[in-house]
Amino acid sequence: MMSIQELKDLKLIELTEAGQGWGDVSKQAYESRRQIDSGVVPKLTDVTKGMSTLAAAARLGRLSRNYQYIHTECGLLQFALNGLAQELAGPQRKLVNALEDAKHLGFTVHPDGSVSYPAAGPEVAGQKPQGDTVKGTSGFFGGVMADVAAMANLNPNAAKAQDIADTIGDALAEARRIDGEYATAVRKLKAEQGLDVTENTWADVQKDSQAVHGAADDVFKDGIPTDKSPAERKAWWDGLSEEDKIAYMAAYPETIGNLDGVPSVARDEANRNYMPQLMGKLADQGDEASMTKLAGLRGIQDKLNTASEPPMFLLGIGDQGNGRAIVAYGNPDTSRNVSAYVPGLGTKLDGEFAGGTVKRAFDTASGARDIDPSSASIVWLGYDAPQDVDVMSKDDAQRGAPAYNSFMSGISATNGFGDDAHITAIGHSYGSLTVGQATQQQPGGIPGVDDIVLVGSPGVGVDKATDLGVDKGHVFVGAADNDIVTKLPSEGSIKGGATGAAIGSVFGPGGALLGGAIGADAGDIGDDDVYFGKDPASEAFGATRFRVDPGPPVVDPKFPDVWNSEVGDLGAHSNYFTPEKDQMSADNIAAIVAGQPGQLIPEARR
């Protein structure tokens, strides 16, 4: 337990210097890992292929993980020691001031914190009121009683001594609390000799991180501008030293990696640091939902471990809801053309995410770069998409819209082309509704967005392309003839049909059918509404429709009453981005993303 003398003599600079020492080790490990990952392994695999090369790469991968572990744990130690020094500065200053006050008044402070004061005050019966010794009090009631006793004492030193004793007691109690919190956290940062860094190890690192955060968040996390705009966050990040950036990525990777406005390279580094911790946490939890998300992260990790052109950047991960993942192909900060695609119905972080949804971003980036090499494409799973058409409402889109706007604002803030950047928002399926709702959050639509692409859309919640915050000539729509999602009946049509059928039933089954048909038409007069409003592919909506492959029919044409087994659940709804299945659609999307809409092949509107 910390004593008065220990707190008084504590050299906080030594704690800070020790923290810096651990920070230096963390930085060296960070740089060593980056050299292995970006320098040694690619060169090794480029030079030769074979089992020996694979074995060497595996050993280097293990070394890389070890360096990553060192970077993280030593970074946590740096934050813990620096946080301890900063937090102890307050109670130490309070104690030193109290001791100086006691010395100036001629009081004696004892090792237990009690304070003795001399006789003083007006004489009574020829004698001054006697001196005494008081102890610090705790709690409201104890403090009140001590103050009352001091005021009743005729010796004026009594109240002064009580105040000093209380201040000393408060300083010691605060210092001991802080010391205990940090001691608990630091004790967790201990590795066994010969440690093999596995998924279980990263689960322990996650717990270590939580322990340090519990102690140091008041000092350091409050300094991260999470409540500021993306532009202000970028200014904060740019103002940090390289050492501080590396330290923040070690201690707070989950925050830095998901902070809109932080440059993409830093977000990628932070998320690669956080990935094994999150995977370890999910593996440790072990429930079905956690294992589903873990499978999704493992798929992303496999892609990160494989070199790609364009290169892959991990701009966000998380285990909230159905899981979060933001993946880019090409650097969004150094590319003139950047697209961010919002996936829709049924999408979640699972074992199919990396091979399906992420591949769409890769295909779009590759196609756009064939037109303009300065292009990057992102898949943004920063919200919970509905998992079944039966539960679709605007709620998920409205909840996801602010997060998408924040992300796009961050892309605009970090893109090096500034006002000359060309940014495209892409919404697929229910994701098109999310994009549509994002345009309604603030005047001017989605921050920084020049073009909007809507494919497989069940409606976007507005009636005209001009309602999306850009000129109608900058809204592009792809709708496959056999995509049933783009032809879902509108709410008005459903309600009108139900009402008409109910009225018509008075005249029997035939009347019910006729009434339902008439009622459905009455509920959708122009026959151009879909589930969430006006059909984006319709003449009335006013967007530019581009040609796509019609896709496989929903039912087998030879057997109209039989579901086409080759289609799966949605058939044509899933082909828009995939060159192997719909080259025309993929090429048209790539032309828009690359800023060359004149190259797309148009299609007549419905």
pLDDT tens sequence across 565-604:
444 446 789 999 999 999 999 999 999 999 999 999 999 9
The number of domains in the chain is: 3
At residue 518, does pLDDT exceed 60?
Answer: no
Tokens 């300083």 locate to: 171
Tokens of 262: 């932080």
Report H helices in 217-263: 230-238, 242-251, 253-256
Beta bridge partners of 329: 312, 377
d(CA 224, CA 502): 60
How many whole angstroms separate alpha carbon 248 and alpha carbon 230? 17
User: Domain boundary residue among 150, 168, 188?
Assistant: 188
pLDDT digits 0-9 by tens, 143-191? 666 666 666 677 889 999 999 999 999 999 999 998 988 888 787 776 6
CB-based burial, 219-255: b 16+ in 10 Å, e otherwise: ebbeebbeeebbbebbebbeeeeeeebbbbbbbbbbb
Q: What is the CATH number of the domain that holds 556?
A: 3.40.50.1820
Residue 512 has which token pair?
């019910």
Q: Are residues 429 and 296 in the same domain?
A: yes
Whether 195 is in a domain gets the answer no
Going by pLDDT thresholds of 50, 70 and 90, the confidence category of residue 493 is very low
**416 shares its domain with 550:** yes
User: Do 504 and 395 share a domain, yes or no?
Assistant: no
Q: Are residues 498 and 482 in the same domain?
A: no
Of 273-277, 380-384, 425-429, 492-496, the one with minimum mean pLDDT is 492-496
Residues 393 and 345 occupy one common structural domain: yes
Within 10 angstroms of residue 24's Cβ, the number of other Cβ atoms is 13
Residue with tokens 């119905």: 345
Q: Percent of the chain at pLDDT above 70?
A: 79
Residue 517 and residue 541 in one domain: no
Quickly list H helices, 240-356: 242-251, 253-256, 264-285, 288-304
The single-letter code of the amino acid at 415 is: N
Q: Tell me if 53 sits within 8 A of 84, measured CB to CB.
A: no
Question: Could you give the CA distance from residue 213 to residue 215 in angstroms, rounded to a whole number?
Answer: 5
> Which residue, 165, 188, 211, sits at the end of a domain?
188
How far apart are alpha carbons 81 and 134 in whole angstroms?
35
Instruction: Tell me whether residue 15 is exposed, middle or buried, using C-beta atoms within 10 angstroms of its C-beta: 0 to 12, 13 to 18, 19 or more.
Output: buried
Lowest mean pLDDT among 204-208, 312-316, 323-327, 332-336: 204-208
Q: How confident is the model at residue 362 (pLDDT cuts 50, 70, 90)?
A: very high
Query: Does 256 map to a domain?
Result: no
Residue 199 lies in a domain: no
Q: What confidence tier does 526 reach under pLDDT thresholds 50, 70, 90?
A: low
Contact criterion met (CB below 8 Å) for 480 and 454 = no
Select from 299, 245, 309 the least CA-distant residue to 275.
299
Of the chain, the end-to-end C-alpha distance in Å amounts to: 78
Kind and range of the H or E run holding 324: strand 324-329
pLDDT, residue 569, reads 47
Query: How much of the chain exceeds pLDDT 90, in percent?
Result: 57
Residues 87 and 266: their CA atoms lie apart, in Å, by 28
Q: Which domain holds residue 181?
A: 4-188
Tokens, residue 150: 């001091």
Within-domain flag for 203: no
Residue 62 — pLDDT band, cuts 50, 70, 90? low
**555 contacts 564 by C-beta, under 8 angstroms:** yes
Q: Are residues 34 and 63 in the same domain?
A: yes
Give yes or no: residues 162 and 140 share one domain: yes
Identify whether residues 305 and 392 lie together within a single domain: yes
Answer yes or no: do 559 and 433 share one domain.
Answer: yes
Query: Do strands 375-381 and 337-342 pair parallel, antiparallel, or not at all (unpaired)?
Result: parallel
| Domain annotation covers residue 514 | yes
Q: For 14-40, what is the mean pLDDT?
A: 79
CA-CA-CA-CA dihedral for 442, 447, 452, 457, to nearest 10: -50
Determine, yes or no, domain membership for 88.
yes
Are both 295 and 166 inside the same structural domain? no
- List, edge to edge, every strand of the sheet that includes 132-134: 108-109, 115-117, 132-134
Given 188, 215, 232, the domain boundary residue is 188
In a domain, 193, yes or no: no
In a domain, 117, yes or no: yes
Do 481 and 507 sit in the same domain of this protein? no
Query: Which one, of 181, 169, 189, lies nearest residue 87 by Cα?
Result: 181
Give pTM, 2 decimals. 0.76
